[in-house]
Chains A and B, each alone.
Chain A
C-alpha cells in the first residue's frame, strides 16, 4: 500500500519511510504541512502518517482541510505530546488513530496496516458471522467453532478472538489489543496481554492440525492461517 509520511524530523521520517518500504509498502515523505497537504490531496494514498507539530501548517489543520475537501484517507497522528486531550482533539479533527512518541516502529506499522485495511474493507452492513481459515464466529449466537468443533470461550476471550479475526493477517500489538478488547489506553508494566493470548491459544490451537495465533517477535500477535508466517 502507499503511505505518505508528513514529518518535519527528517531523520525520523527517513527511518519511517525505510521501515515501511522494507515492510513492502510504498512510502513518500513530506517535511512541511503545506507540502504534505498538496501531496495528500493530489495522490491517492492508502494511509497518511501526520506529525501533530509541523512548520507552517500544523497537523490538525492539515487533516481538517483535507477532510473538508471530501478526502477520507485514514490518518494516523504522531505526537510527542501524550495528553488524552491531544488525542481527543486529533480524533475530532478527523484523525483515525493516534500514536505517541516514542513509539516502536512495529507498533506504527501494525496501526498503519490496520488503518489501511479498514479503509478498504469497510462495509455498510454489520457482519453477523466472521470466518477465517477453519474458524467460524457467530456474533449473534456468541458461538465459536473451529473445523466444525465448538469451542467454549469466556466473554473476554470471545472479544479477544473477535478482534484478532477482524484484523486477521495483520499484526496486533499488545497496546492495540488492550485498546480494542479492554478499551483502556495505558502501558501495562507486565505481560498481562500475553497471558490472555496464551489462554486463548490453548483453546483455539490445541488439538488442531496447525496453529493460528502467531507471535510476531518484538511486535505482537497475528491470527494467520499457517505458512504465511514469516
Chain B
C-alpha cells in the first residue's frame, strides 16, 4: 500500500531514523521502570518477611519453642489465605505449627531467601494449582526449623501486567510514530512535488510557470519565492536576448533591403562578366542574410503567439500530402525515398502555412541528414492526438544533444559543412509552441524521429467535415 516513492523519500527515512532513536530511548526508560519497580517490590517483600521473622524470633527468645509454636499457630490461623506463610518443624521434620503442609524440598540448612511453589487448591480438572512464594528458613535449637514467607503470585502477576502495559505502550508508540512520520513526510513530499512538477514544466520550456507560495511563510514558501525570483530573472535575461536578436534582425532588414536593391540595380547596368559574377555572388550572400533574418523574425512572430488570432481548422493529411509531394523529388536527388503514411485524416486548428513550413523544415532536415539511399517517412496519426511524425534512417541526434538542437543558431555539425543557418528546428519548436503542440525528438534506431503532437480538437471542431475544413481554410 505504501508507494515506493514515499519509502524512498528522505523525509520518511528521517522519520524512521527518529522513530528508531525514540524507540531505543523509550525502551531504556521502560526497562528501567520495569526493573526498578520489580526490584523495589521484591525488596519490600523481603523487608516484610525480615520484619516478621524478627518479631517471631523475639517471641522465640522470650517464650521458647512452645511460645513460638503458639505464635505461629495464631498467625497462621489469622492468615488462612496464606498470604503469609509460616511453618515450624521439629528435627524430624514433623510439623509443629504452620499453614503449609510440608517443608519445601531442597531447602534444609540455608538461611537465605528462596523461591518455591505452594499448592493452593485444585482447578476444575482436579489438577493442583500452585502459587509462587518466597521464604526464608531458620534453624532453631534442637534442630527445629522455622520458615517464614509470602505468597508472591499477586506481586509477580502485577509485575507481568506492568511489563504487558509497557510493551503495549511501546507498540502504540511505534504505530503512532510511523503514522506521524507518514503524514509528515506525505505533507512535505506534497510541497516538494509541487516544486518538482513546476520545475519539470519549466525545463520543458514553459518559462511562464511559477511556484505557488502557500502563504504560511515557512521555508517552502521562501523556497518558492526565491525560485520565482530566479525564474523572473532568467525569463528577463532570455527575453532580453531574444529581443536583441529580434531587434537586430528587424533593424537590419531595411538596410539589407536597400543593399540588395542597389546591387540589383547595379547588375542591370553592369555588362562586364567579372563584375556581374561578383555582384551576383553578393546578391546571394545578401539573400542568405535576409533569409536568416526572416527566419528569426518568423520565429519571433510565432513565439509572440499573436498569430493564434488567425487560426483556422485545416486538414493535416492534405497538408502532409502537399509537403511530401513537394519534397519527394528533392529526396530522389539523394536517392532517398519520401513516403507518406496517413490512414485517417486529422483536423487541427492552426496556421496552415506555418505548420507546412515546420513540416517542410523537418523533411528537409531528414533528406539532408538521412542516409543516402534511405527512407524518410512522413506520418499523420490521429491517435491519441493529431500528430505529425517524420522519421529518417540517418545518424540521428544523440539524446543529450536533442534539447540543444532546438535552440536558435545551434548546429550539431561542428564543421558547419552542411548548408543551413541553425534556425530550422528552432522555427519548428516555435511553431509547435504557437500551436500548443508537443515537439519530441526520439531515437528511431537508427535515425531520428521527430513528432509534433497537436492538442485534440474540441468536439465541435472534430465534427467538421472535410468540405467544411476546405471552405474554412
User: Residue B66 at the A interface, CB < 8 A?
Assistant: no
Residues A105 and B360 in contact in the complex (CB < 8 Å), given A88-B310, A156-B325 = no
* A–B pairs, 16, beta carbons within 8 Å: A12-B258, A15-B264, A85-B310, A102-B257, A102-B293, A105-B261, A105-B265, A184-B352, A189-B291, A189-B364, A190-B330, A192-B330, A192-B364, A195-B330, A199-B329, A218-B283
Q: Name the distance in Å between B355's Cβ and chain A's nearest Cβ.
A: 10
Residues A104 and B330 in contact in the complex (CB < 8 Å), given A19-B264, A187-B294 = no
CA distance A19 to B257 in the complex (A): 13
Complex contact A187–B310 (CB within 8 A): no
User: Residue A207 at the B interface, CB < 8 A?
Assistant: no
Segment from B40-48, B301-309, B457-465 that makes contact with A: B301-309
User: Residue A185 at the B interface, CB < 8 A?
Assistant: yes
Give the 7 A-B CB pairs with smallest separation, nearest first.
A102-B257, A186-B357, A22-B268, A15-B261, A105-B264, A195-B329, A195-B330
Complex contact B254–A9 (CB within 8 A): yes
User: Residue B253 at the A interface, CB < 8 A?
Assistant: yes
User: Residue A106 at the B interface, CB < 8 A?
Assistant: yes
Complex contact A102–B330 (CB within 8 A): no
Query: Would you give the 0/1 interface string for B415-435, flagging 1 where the beta carbon is closer than 8 Å to chain A?
Result: 000011000100000000000
Number of A-B contacts (CB under 8 A): 116
Residues A15 and B265 in contact in the complex (CB < 8 Å), given A189-B424, A199-B329 = yes
Complex contact B326–A102 (CB within 8 A): no
Complex contact A101–B253 (CB within 8 A): yes
User: Residue B256 at the A interface, CB < 8 A?
Assistant: yes
CA distance A88 to B473 in the complex (A): 13
CA distance A26 to B330 in the complex (A): 40
CA distance A199 to B330 in the complex (A): 10
Query: Would you give the 0/1 interface string for A187-198, flagging 1 where the beta carbon is closer than 8 Å to chain B?
Result: 111111001100
User: Residue B356 at the A interface, CB < 8 A?
Assistant: yes
Quick one: closest B residue to A156, CB to CB?
B325
Quick one: closest B residue to A78, CB to CB?
B257
Please indicate the chain A residues that have their CB under 8 angstroms from the CB of B346 in the complex: none
Please indicate the chain A residues that have their CB under 8 angstroms from the CB of B360 in the complex: 186, 188-189, 192
CA distance A18 to B250 in the complex (A): 25
Given A83-B306, A187-B294: 10 more A-B contacts, CB < 8 Å = A11-B258, A22-B265, A88-B310, A101-B254, A104-B287, A186-B360, A189-B364, A190-B419, A192-B329, A217-B280
CA distance A107 to B327 in the complex (A): 23
Q: Name the distance in Å between B282's Cβ and chain A's nearest Cβ.
A: 11
Please indicate the chain B residues that have their CB under 8 angstroms from the CB of A183 in the complex: 322
Q: Name the distance in Å between A194's Cβ and chain B's nearest Cβ.
A: 9
CA distance A108 to B425 in the complex (A): 29
Q: Give the contacting residue for A182; candidates B265, B290, B322; CB below 8 A.
A: B322
Residues A80 and B254 in contact in the complex (CB < 8 Å), given A19-B261, A23-B268, A188-B360 = yes
Residues of B352-411 whose CB lies within 8 A of A: 352-354, 356-357, 360-361, 364, 368
Q: Name the distance in Å between A79's Cβ and chain B's nearest Cβ.
A: 11
User: Residue A55 at the B interface, CB < 8 A?
Assistant: no
Complex contact B265–A19 (CB within 8 A): yes
Residues A16 and B261 in contact in the complex (CB < 8 Å), given A88-B310, A218-B283 = yes
Query: Would you give the 0/1 interface string for B221-265, flagging 1 where the beta carbon is closer than 8 Å to chain A?
Result: 000000000000000000000000000001001101110111011
Please indicate the chain B residues that have their CB under 8 angstroms from the CB of A83 in the complex: 301, 306-307, 310
User: Residue B269 at the A interface, CB < 8 A?
Assistant: yes
Quick one: closest A residue to B329, CB to CB?
A195
CA distance A185 to B322 in the complex (A): 13
CA distance A7 to B282 in the complex (A): 25
Quick one: closest A residue to B473, CB to CB?
A183
User: Residue A44 at the B interface, CB < 8 A?
Assistant: no
Please indicate the chain B residues that have their CB under 8 angstroms from the CB of A218 in the complex: 264, 267, 280, 283-284
Complex contact A102–B260 (CB within 8 A): yes
Complex contact B353–A186 (CB within 8 A): yes
Quick one: closest A residue to B424, CB to CB?
A189
CA distance A22 to B357 in the complex (A): 35
CA distance A18 to B263 in the complex (A): 12
User: Residue B298 at the A interface, CB < 8 A?
Assistant: yes
Please indicate the chain A residues that have their CB under 8 angstroms from the CB of B352 in the complex: 184
Please indicate the chain B residues that have their CB under 8 angstroms from the CB of A105 in the complex: 260-261, 264-265
User: Residue B351 at the A interface, CB < 8 A?
Assistant: yes
User: Residue B173 at the A interface, CB < 8 A?
Assistant: no
